[in-house]
Amino acid sequence: MNADRELLVATGVRKIYRTGSVAVTALDDLDLAVRPGEMVGVMGPSGSGKTTLLNCLSGLDDIDAGRVEIEGRDLFAMSDAVRTEHRARTMGFVFQAFNLIPVFSAVENVELPLLLVGTRPHEARSRALAMLDRVGLGHRVGHRPSEMSGGEQQRVTIARALVGRPAVVWADEPTGNLDTTMAGQVMDLLCALNRDEGQTIVLVTHDSAIGARVPRLIRMRDGRLVGDVRQNVPGGAEAAADLSRG
């Protein structure tokens, strides 16, 4: 593995949840490397550790063993404060629940992460407006979340995740709350951002139709990586056939 070329390198990552006398090994000696510009799908059955992988590799949650490096920096060697700051500057997040601030308009939601890292208000506003335009919501900038469809709300969260030009965007079941049409539109957008702008994206899904659309698909079972394939996209037929063989 050529560490210089990797954006993210996880080695021997272990995560154990302890609840009373029960211990669940959610990540078991996991290795993963992601290059700049990759779009990586993470699939696996419910409980296989997909969300844990995302939370641990992004440093949202602690690990029990191993090492995670982003752009050559050891995530867990940082203090909590430094890690939080590092996350705000290098990572964007998109979750199944849109997690927008209900009393804020679309543009206020999108500019917030920029304001939090000290971007001047005028610049934050203009970048948020440009990003909303990029996700096809130039006509909705003043709407509150409750005044938008689920697909529109998720495109606002994607704009919010990308506005700071993060090194990596983590998405956990981003289409999980959307109907098929809206899910397709959100995937179109994520794929375009990866293809056209080289945005690195790690996307967790349990939906094989979504998994068929990503250039690289890794599969998890019981906290371990059990597959890692590069697929021909668009089309995804090859991948779909592969998945149906299970």
Q: Which of 3, 12, 23, 24 binds ligand ADP (CB under 6 A)?
A: 24
**Segment lying near Mg ion (by CB under 5 A), choices 21-29, 48-56, 68-76, 219-227:** 48-56
Which residue reads 């995302």 in tokens?
Answer: 54
Least CB distance to ligand ADP at residue 209 (A) = 18
Q: For the range 81-90, what are the long-range contacts, defined as Cβ-Cβ under 8 Å and sequence gap of 24 or more?
A: 83/59, 86/59, 87/58, 87/59, 87/60, 88/113, 88/116, 88/117, 88/164, 89/117, 89/164, 89/166, 90/166, 90/167, 90/168
Q: Which one of ligand ADP, Mg ion, none is in contact with 24 (Cβ closer than 5 to 8 A by kind)?
A: ligand ADP
Least CB distance to ligand ADP at residue 242 (A) = 20
The conformational region for residue 58 under phi > 0 = left, psi -120 to 50 = alpha, else beta, is: alpha
Q: How far apart are CA 201 and CA 93, in angstroms?
A: 10
Q: Which one of Mg ion, ligand ADP, none is in contact with 40 (Cβ closer than 5 to 8 A by kind)?
A: none
Q: Please report whether residue 19 would count as binding ligand ADP according to CB under 6 A.
A: yes
Q: Which of 7, 26, 214, 217 binds ligand ADP (CB under 6 A)?
A: 26
**Segment lying near Mg ion (by CB under 5 A), choices 7-15, 18-26, 45-53, 131-139:** 45-53
Q: How far apart are CA 168 and CA 176, in angstroms?
A: 20
Q: Do 82 and 159 form a contact (C-beta atoms < 8 A)?
A: no
Cis preceding linkage at 166, omega within 30: no
Using CB under 6 A as the binding criterion, the count of chain residues that bind ligand ADP stands at 12
The nearer residue to ligand ADP, 55 or 185, going by C-beta atoms, is 55
Q: Please report whether residue 174 would count as binding ligand ADP according to CB under 6 A.
A: no
Q: Identify which of 7, 11, 6, 8 has the alpha carbon closest to the alpha carbon of residue 27.
A: 11
> How far, rounded to the nearest angstrom, does the alpha carbon of residue 87 sit from its chain's CA centroid?
12
Q: Please report whether residue 208 would count as binding ligand ADP according to CB under 6 A.
A: no
Binding positions for ligand ADP, 29-58, rule CB under 6 A? 44, 46-52
Binding residues for ligand ADP, rule: CB under 6 A, are 17, 19, 24, 26, 44, 46-52
Binding residues for Mg ion, rule: CB under 5 A, are 50-51
